[in-house]
């Protein structure tokens, strides 16, 4: 580890393993929590709502314990170092447990040491050291396996199950995936153990052996029910059938010379990074040999050998259990046309990265391969071929070590070369000093809004991918000043809260509901990154702010809340003043120019309020919105079409809205695809999408439709860009202006 990490290992608080994206955020959330928060609430992002600690990736159980310790002596300055040290310590703890497991299966001491180190340093969890720190605890699966081994021989099961429940629950409060991983692994092991070694009544004993395994899930569910008030978290996060494992996940290298050699012989599928759990090329050879033996035993009708091979006691249980978990990580049985089961097992959909469960068979099958090699050596030795056996074993171990070494270099070694200084103890900018130099203080503001802003976590929206400088400076400024961020980068964030947060960036014609939730009228502190591409909404927001000063590529700006108020009254007054001079169209629209091509469809026979009483929707999709020519349109004139799309929690993604221009023969001559998840104009649960275009010929047809399921849309307006459009409704009590609504 020292060869790979260098000074990071010796000075854990001096460096960060990553200072960008999820890596920096997963340092920020525990560090901010320890300095400013307590209990189960995190206030550092998602202002003014904050968030439950479970959804912040701050390793809640560790952060909570450290916060209690912080009351005795300050530990928050050492937050980065403490969490780094815990990650580092999990590596030797993993190796020690694997050594004990190897010795349990009768491996010689020196060989058990080598195997334990090789399995540890080829672990797929080392990939997580680059950012997903809560998932890096290599010790979890070996600890659970050792517990299962010891529990099998225990006389008093109650004590062992209490230890198991406490251990899995605590790991689950580091990262919730550990709960389901522990439950699935334990259920698989107990099921195989009872089927092979159980005594009658077998099914009753199986129930007694597996029922306690569900307890951590129930306890976690109860914990959230009692402590989490948010009711609209994403129910169907993206990725359940995308981030699953494949057979290549466990048995094919994801990269490197071995993979290049294999690809020259036969193309092998590339698997998602989430599902990589490569156990080494020797494990692949062992798989082939084992399958051949199974076929041979099947031909000879020696099926008993399938469950009772020549292996140390109960290693067959661990191996078969590992395969069951591997099938689960591959999405089986849900990919066999049984995806409807996900609706029955609703909470299971929250675990969208099934490929992570391949970590369990990684450890179990790697140990099986190691025992297989040792048995092969003993077999050769018994046949007076001990020297050949030693050469074979030595070559395998050297090749295994070579693969592990490359893996360590690609994971820990890469991080060791980066040398990212701890931004919380060695900040790039001292924001408190900067404000003081301008005769200001953090208390003069109520929150920080980085520009470009980021709003990640609801699964529904990603209006901006986090700009590395914006997130990096935003996290540093928040940690130094104690001011929370008026944006977010967390997990399973409330959809309604996300809609209100993003609405802060909406067009000035939209009233920002979140302003009513702010506890004071203090301005926002804008932290704007210079020389980056900004959206139209962000550019408009910066124009409303007052520059404080600049340092490097960062600008501090004051944004008064009054500048965010809607132009509602201005538009209503303009309507009252100009109504008689506007042109009334047969459709009921009022336009600023006469004889122009304007198209409007509220999808409602009797519109009576905002968006009318009916919407255009289809549970399945696709949904046809318009497929017609536009009367009176001029070729080459700039037009805009806009549409409102509903944001709901029925699925993780929005339906994509597709615009096409078709010539008289039905041939597509232009196309645009708009995903509402990048939208910033929010009205209630609706997101406005718009697109500017020039029609190439007046006889060409406009075709607008959606892809995806559960599409629901309202209020399609097509107008020339230089033409204003008004429409009163609800008896004149409400007004539509250029497809913005003023109730």
Q: What is the mean pLDDT of residues 78-105?
A: 96
| Residue 192 burial (10 A CB sphere; 0-12, 13-18, 19+) | buried
Residue 424: pLDDT band with limits 50, 70, 90: very high
The whole-chain average pLDDT of the chain stands at 90
Does position 667 have pLDDT exceeding 50, yes or no?
A: yes
- Cis peptide bond N-terminal to 384, omega within 30: no
Instruction: State whether residue 737 is helix, strand or coil.
Output: strand
Q: At 473, is the pLDDT very low, low, confident or very high (cuts 50, 70, 90)? A: very high
How many CA atoms lie within 13 Å of 217's alpha carbon, on the beta-carbon side? Answer: 19
How would residue 742 be classed by pLDDT, with cut points 50, 70 and 90? confident
Q: Is the pLDDT of residue 227 over 80?
A: yes
- The answer, yes or no, to whether residue 608 has pLDDT greater than 50, is no
pLDDT exceeding 70 applies to what percent of the chain?
97
Q: How far apart are CA 248 and CA 427, in angstroms?
A: 43
Give Cα separations from 203 to 133, 190, 210, 211, 318 (angstroms): 40, 12, 10, 12, 20
At residue 610, the pLDDT reads 61
Q: pLDDT above 90 covers what percent of the chain? A: 64
Mean pLDDT (whole number) for 36-63:
95
- Domain architecture of the chain: domains with CATH: 2-418 (no CATH), 431-564 (no CATH), 569-742 (2.60.120)
The pLDDT of residue 70 is 87
Indicate whether 613 pLDDT > 70: no
- The answer to whether residue 343 scores a pLDDT higher than 80 is no
- Distance CA(481)–CA(448), nearest Å, equals 10
Confidence of residue 654 (pLDDT cuts 50, 70, 90): confident
What pLDDT shows up at residue 73?
87
Mean pLDDT of 84-105: 96
Mean pLDDT of 202-207: 75
Q: Which of the residue ranges 279-288, 564-573, 626-635, 643-652 would you say has the lowest mean pLDDT?
A: 643-652
Q: How far apart are CA 483 and CA 473, in angstroms?
A: 13
Burial of 636 (0-12, 13-18, 19+ CB in 10 A): exposed
pLDDT of residue 730: 64
Provide the pLDDT for residue 206. Answer: 76
> What average pLDDT score do residues 621-625 get?
87
When pLDDT is averaged across residues 1-19 and rounded to a whole number, the result is: 92
Strand order in the sheet with 590-591: 583-584, 590-591, 725-729, 734-737, 740-742
Answer for the pair 494, 230: CB distance below 8 angstroms, yes or no.
yes
What gap in Å lies between CA 278 and CA 467, rounded to an integer? 32
Give yes or no for residue 88 having a pLDDT over 90: yes
The answer, yes or no, to whether residue 612 has pLDDT greater than 70, is no
pLDDT of 419 strictly over 70: yes
With beta carbons less than 8 A apart as the criterion, state whether 314 and 195 touch.
Answer: no
Per-residue pLDDT at 540: 92
DSSP helix/strand/coil, 414: helix
Instruction: Name, in order, each residue with C-beta under 8 angstroms of 423's C-beta and a sequence gap of 6 or more.
Output: 16, 19, 24, 472, 475, 476
Q: Looking at 26-35, 329-338, 466-475, 577-586, which range is the least confident one?
A: 329-338
Chain centre to alpha carbon of residue 140: 21
Q: Which residues contact 138 (CB under 8 A, 6 or more apart)?
A: 90, 91, 93, 94, 120, 123, 125, 126
Residue 567 has what pLDDT? 86
pLDDT band, very low/low/confident/very high, at 205 (cuts 50, 70, 90): confident
Query: pTM for the complete prediction?
Result: 0.91
Inform me whether the pLDDT recorded for 463 exceeds 80.
no
């Amino acid at each position: 580890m020292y060869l790979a990490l260098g000074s990071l290992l010796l000075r854990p608080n001096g460096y960060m393993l990553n200072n960008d994206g999820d890596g920096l955020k997963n340092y920020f959330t525990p560090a901010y929590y320890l300095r400013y928060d307590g209990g189960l609430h995190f206030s550092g992002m998602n202002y003014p709502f904050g968030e439950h600690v479970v959804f912040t990736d701050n390793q809640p159980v560790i952060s909570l314990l450290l916060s209690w310790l912080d009351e005795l002596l300050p530990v928050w300055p050492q937050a980065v170092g403490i969490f780094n040290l815990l990650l580092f310590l999990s590596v030797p703890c993993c190796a020690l447990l694997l050594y004990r497991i190897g010795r349990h299966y009768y491996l010689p001491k020196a060989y058990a040491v080598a195997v334990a180190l090789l399995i540890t340093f080829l672990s797929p969890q080392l990939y997580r050291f680059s950012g997903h720190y809560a998932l890096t605890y290599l010790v979890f699966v070996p600890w659970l396996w050792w517990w299962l081994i010891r529990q099998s021989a225990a006389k008093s099961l109650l004590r062992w199950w209490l230890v198991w429940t406490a251990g899995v629950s605590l790991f689950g409060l580091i990262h919730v995936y550990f709960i389901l991983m522990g439950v699935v692994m334990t259920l698989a092991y107990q099921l195989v153990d009872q089927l092979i070694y159980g005594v009658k009544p077998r099914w009753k004993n199986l129930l007694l052996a597996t029922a306690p395994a569900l307890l951590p899930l129930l306890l976690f569910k109860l914990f959230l029910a009692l402590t989490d008030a948010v009711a609209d978290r994403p129910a169907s996060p993206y990725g359940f059938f995308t981030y699953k494992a494949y057979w290549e996940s466990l048995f094919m290298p994801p990269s490197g010379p071995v993979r290049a050699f294999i690809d020259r012989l036969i193309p092998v599928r590339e698997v998602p990074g989430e599902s990589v759990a490569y156990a080494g090329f020797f494990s692949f050879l062992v798989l082939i040999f084992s399958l051949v033996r199974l076929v041979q035993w099947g031909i000879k009708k020696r099926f008993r050998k399938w469950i009772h091979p020549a292996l140390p006691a109960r290693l067959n249980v661990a191996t078969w259990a590992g395969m069951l978990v591997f099938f689960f990580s591959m999405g089986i049985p849900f990919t066999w046309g049984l995806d409807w089961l996900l609706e029955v097992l609703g909470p299971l959909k929250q675990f969208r990265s099934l490929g992570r469960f391949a970590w369990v068979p990684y450890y179990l099958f790697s140990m099986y391969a190691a025992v297989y090699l040792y048995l092969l050596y003993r077999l050769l030795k018994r046949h007076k071929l001990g020297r050949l056996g030693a050469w074979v074993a030595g070559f395998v171990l050297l090749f295994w070590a070579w693969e592990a070494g490359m893996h360590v270099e690609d994971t820990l070694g890469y991080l060791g070369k980066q040398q990212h200084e701890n931004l919380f103890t060695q900040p790039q900018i001292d924001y408190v000093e900067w404000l003081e130099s301008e005769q200001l203080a953090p208390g003069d503001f109520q929150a920080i809004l980085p520009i470009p802003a980021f709003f990640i976590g609801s699964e529904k929206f990603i209006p901006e991918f986090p700009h590395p400088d914006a997130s990096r400076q935003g996290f540093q400024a928040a940690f130094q000043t104690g001011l929370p961020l008026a944006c977010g980068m967390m997990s399973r964030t409330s959809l309604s809260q996300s809609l209100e947060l993003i609405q802060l960036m909406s067009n000035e014609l939209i009233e920002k509901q979140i302003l009513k939730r702010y506890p004071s009228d203090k301005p926002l502190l804008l932290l704007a990154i210079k020389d980056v591409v900004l959206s139209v909404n962000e550019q408009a927001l910066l124009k409303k702010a007052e520059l404080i000063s600049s340092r490097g590529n960062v600008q501090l700006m004051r944004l008064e809340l009054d500048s965010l108020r809607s132009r509602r009254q201005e538009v209503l007054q303009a309507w009252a003043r100009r109504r008689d001079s506007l042109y009334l169209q047969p459709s009921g629209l009022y336009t600023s120019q006469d004889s122009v091509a304007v198209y409007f469809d509220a999808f409602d026979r009797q519109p009576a309020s905002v968006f009318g009483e009916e919407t255009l929707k289809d549970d399945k999709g696709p949904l046809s919105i318009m497929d017609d020519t536009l009367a009176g349109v001029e070729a080459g004139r700039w037009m805009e079409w806009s549409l409102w799309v509903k944001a709901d929690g029925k699925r993780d993604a929005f339906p994509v809205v597709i615009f096409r221009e078709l010539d008289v023969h039905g041939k597509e001559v232009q196309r645009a695809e708009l995903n509402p998840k990048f939208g910033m104009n929010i009205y209630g649960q609706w997101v406005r999408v718009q697109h500017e275009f020039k029609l190439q010929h007046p006889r060409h047809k406009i075709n607008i439709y959606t892809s995806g399921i559960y599409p629901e849309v309202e209020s399609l307006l097509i107008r020339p860009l230089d033409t204003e459009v008004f429409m009163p409704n609800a008896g004149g009590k409400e007004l539509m202006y250029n497809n913005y609504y003023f109730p």
